[in-house]
Amino acid sequence: MNLIEKDLKYIWHPCSQMKDYEEMKPIIIDRGEGVYLYDRDGKEYLDIISSWWCNLLGHCNPKISAAVKQQLEKVEHVIFANFSHEPAIRLCEQLSEVIPKGLTKFNFSDNGSASVEAALKMSFQYQYQTGHKEKVKFMCLSEGYHGETIGALSVGSMDLYAKIYKPMLMDAIQITAPDCYRCPYEKSRDNCSTECFEHAERAFEEHADETCAIIVEPLLQGSAGMRIYPPAYLKKLRKLCDKYEVILIADEIATGFGRTGKMFAFDHAGASPDIICISKGLTGGYMPMAITITTDKIYDAFYADYSEGKAFMHSHTYSGNPLGCSAALAVLNIFREESVLENASKRAEYLNSRLNEALMGHPNIGEIRHLGLVNAMELVADRNTKRGFDSGLRTGYQIYKKALEKGLILRPLGNVLYFNPPLTIKEEEIEKAVSICAQSIGEVTQRSR
Ligand SMILES: *Cc1c(COP(=O)(O)O)cnc(C)c1O
């Protein structure tokens, strides 16, 4: 039996209809370098989606690899209750300097969903312990995504992931999210006054009394198809949360660490959330790690004599893993030494202009939207009505398969194709990715017309 046959014999791949694998076999990756992955035959794949948005500074980045190797010689893991270690301590000290201000206390876990669960429980318990036992519900935005564990799914709104599980989820209060491409107020991104914020205002008027927290993906609803909305929305939300004493949770798992052009998406709004969840880019894509970071105010509501029973009784075995912390420290070091944000913003302009030149004239591209290096192309059957392709056609998936043959990993989100490359991608790599992308779109849409 060869490796592919054995893979199919044993492995249940994530987020996949396994029957699709009969036709499209798993690609067995042997090694990675920079923006490229290589299979066992040496075929190269340009990883324009950063291996599910986590690979931040290239595969096998020599500096991160060296930092993890060094830590491996000292200690690989240690219980994080009552014990600590230098990488975790130094990491928090250094993160303090780059996260939105006011966020001061760090609670470690090992994946994005887990950090969201911690944020939800923390918010609930904060309200409970500060005299608001009636605040038991959560608010979220429609089309939001916060992970796939039960709590995270409950505050997510994407039927694709949640529908079948509805009977076992808590019911959250869902606010209609901004939809800038198909704006119901018929505004453009240039003359928008966040009219859609009225949905949030109404929800708060009706439900804030029973709500402990609201969770949002700031500026970029990733899984929904890289939907981008303006910072003014976050500013207004910050004010509303203050007025009604609702905790504001920023899920920056996808947007953190320079993806949106600033270190964190909330920085665009000149405001701070009460809780921030970070993961994906945190270790550069090296180790599973996440942190839920909050304010002194929230932390203090848990700080009491043991007998009062106010502690946050929440743990994960791999909390604060030293290998993850040393990878994350190396990431921050690279940001400082290599001016990562400045260079990424130059290449962000280049990427967007190249994509526009190559594709904006195409009859099936409705919009190319961008924030930092993230660029999303909305595939439409009709540009005038903005009608998308029938999902049964799986147009995005067909383009994905075509691009894979040509050596580009362009995994779609329904009818949206996107680039979310490592921040260190080079111009010639952008050039190559844009060209394969345009060819693949051309070939597939030609066929379906
Ligand atoms: C990926 C993601 C999560 C979930 O993180 P996992 O590590 O996959 O559990 C949560 N929220 C957002 C915005 C994400 O992009």
Give residue for tokens 């993230």: 374
Window from 261-270, 329-338, 390-399 with minimum mean pLDDT: 390-399
Q: Whose CA is nearest to atom 3 of ligand 1?
A: 147
Partner residues linked to 418 by β-bridges = 376
CATH C-level class of 65-337:
alpha beta
Q: Name residues whose C-beta falls within 8 Å of residue 30's C-beta, 6 or more positions apart in sequence.
A: 38, 39, 40
Binding residues for substrate: 52, 145, 280, 315, 411
What pLDDT is stored for residue 434 in this prediction? 98
Buried b (16+ CB within 10 A) or exposed e, 106-123: bbbbbbbbbbbbbbbebb
What pLDDT is stored for residue 160 in this prediction? 83
- 176: how many CB neighbours lie within 10 A of its CB? 16
Q: Enter the pTM of the model.
A: 0.97
Q: To test ligand 1's pocket by mutation, which of 145, 257, 287 has the most ligand atoms within 8 angstroms of CB?
A: 145
Binding residues: 52, 112-113, 145, 251, 280, 315-317, 411
What pLDDT is stored for residue 446 in this prediction? 85
How is the beta sheet containing 44-46 ordered, strand by strand? 29-33, 36-39, 44-46
For ligand 1, say whether the CB of 113 is within 6 Å of any of its atoms: yes
State mean pLDDT over 233-238: 98
What pLDDT is stored for residue 125 in this prediction? 98
Two tokens at 23?
Answer: 């036709």
218 CA to centre of ligand 1 in angstroms: 13
For ligand 1, say whether the CB of 222 is within 6 Å of any of its atoms: yes
Distance CA 226, CA 377 (A): 9
Quick check: 449 pLDDT over 60? no
CATH C-level class of 3-60+340-448:
alpha beta
Strands 247-251 and 275-278 turn out to be parallel
202 CA to centre of ligand 1 in angstroms: 28
What pLDDT is stored for residue 448 in this prediction? 60
- From first CA to last CA, the distance across the chain in angstroms is 41
Sign of CA dihedral 126, 201, 225, 340: negative
- Would you kindly state where each structural domain of the chain is located, as residue ranges? 3-60+340-448, 65-337
For ligand 1, say whether the CB of 220 is within 6 Å of any of its atoms: no
Report percent pLDDT > 70 for the chain: 99
Model pLDDT for residues 170-193, shown as the tens digit of each residue: 999 999 999 999 999 999 989 999
Q: To test ligand 1's pocket by mutation, which of 110, 113, 219 has the most ligand atoms within 8 angstroms of CB?
A: 113
Partner residues linked to 37 by β-bridges = 32, 45
Please determine whether the domains at 3-60+340-448 and 65-337 fall in the same fold group of CATH: no
For ligand 1, say whether the CB of 111 is within 6 Å of any of its atoms: yes
52 CA to centre of ligand 1 in angstroms: 10
CA torsion, points 76, 339, 346, 350, in degrees to nearest 10?
A: -40
Q: To test ligand 1's pocket by mutation, which of 50, 143, 215, 280 has the most ligand atoms within 8 angstroms of CB?
A: 280
For ligand 1, say whether the CB of 422 is within 6 Å of any of its atoms: no
396 CA to centre of ligand 1 in angstroms: 21
> How confident is residue 158, by pLDDT bands cut at 50, 70 and 90?
confident
